[in-house]
Amino acid sequence: MGEGSETKPHYAGHRDRLRERFLKSPDTLPDYELLELILFRAIPQRDVKPLAKELIAKFGGFSEVLNAEPARLREVKGVKDATITELRIAREVGLRIAQAKVLKKEVIGSWDALLEYCSASMAHNPTEQFRILFLDRKNVLIADEVQQKGTVDHTPVYPREVVKRALELNASALILVHNHPSGDPAPSNADVEMTRQIVDTAKPLGIDVHDHLVVGKGRHASFRSMGLL
């Protein structure tokens, strides 16, 4: 073959076309193609469409892929550290955008965005995580912190540490949030007892517990709505 007669691999043209479609109408791309765009940077010399489809099939969806643990991602042939890094970057960008919609905002007026953020950050965690949303006197969210991480069905929570952190931040109220990796957001007896202990510790110091949200997969439970607070 003469000089200059080399042709691009078949996936090169596909990548160019996919990027063009994304720039014109990103909302029309199916999940596997959006995942392809993320994989392009990590795997520059290969057709990544089969891998994107395999990841979505294995984990059940685009969001589930972004939230998958690195050890499980590595079970898929072709997934290396560079791939995991790109997936983590995409996940973190999404979370920070969601967080920006609620942080420094009055929570009642941004309640739907708050639920969306809690679900995005916790619903697909393989282990329990307990986080606290700290509010000021005007119910503005001033801080969002992960207090504890636990096992698949238990997170140790220490009421005094929760209240101590609220005092450090000069918070007037709290919203407690934790996830159930099983996907069922129904509060357990242990959840109810732990919440009662936090309320009893916080109330004498003038700190209210506005709600305790339990996040499942696609669902959530509110202690306030259920009459448990």
- How many helices, marked H, and strands, marked E, lie in the chain? 9, 5
Mean pLDDT of 154-161: 78
What is the percent of the chain where pLDDT is above 70? 91
Q: CA geometry: angle at 151 spanning 155 and 199, to 5°?
A: 10
Output the pTM of the full model: 0.75
pLDDT in tens, 11-69: 678 888 999 999 999 889 999 999 999 999 899 888 999 999 999 999 989 988 998 88
Mean pLDDT of 124-150: 87
Q: Which residues contact 158 (CB under 8 A, 6 or more apart)?
A: 148
Mean pLDDT of 190-194: 91
At 22 the pLDDT is 93
Backbone dihedral angles phi then psi of residue 176, each to the nearest 5 degrees: -90, 140
- Looking at every residue in the chain, the average pLDDT score rounds to 88
Task: Please check the confidence at residue 111 and state whether its pLDDT lies above 50.
Answer: yes
**Contact, 135 vs 175, CB < 8 A?**
yes
Task: Please check the confidence at residue 2 and state whether its pLDDT lies above 50.
Answer: no
Task: Please check the confidence at residue 154 and state whether its pLDDT lies above 90.
Answer: no
At 109 the pLDDT is 84
At 156 the pLDDT is 72
Report the first-to-last Cα separation within the chain, whole angstroms: 77
Q: What are the CA-CA distances from residue 51 to residues 37, 83, 151 (Å)?
A: 12, 11, 30
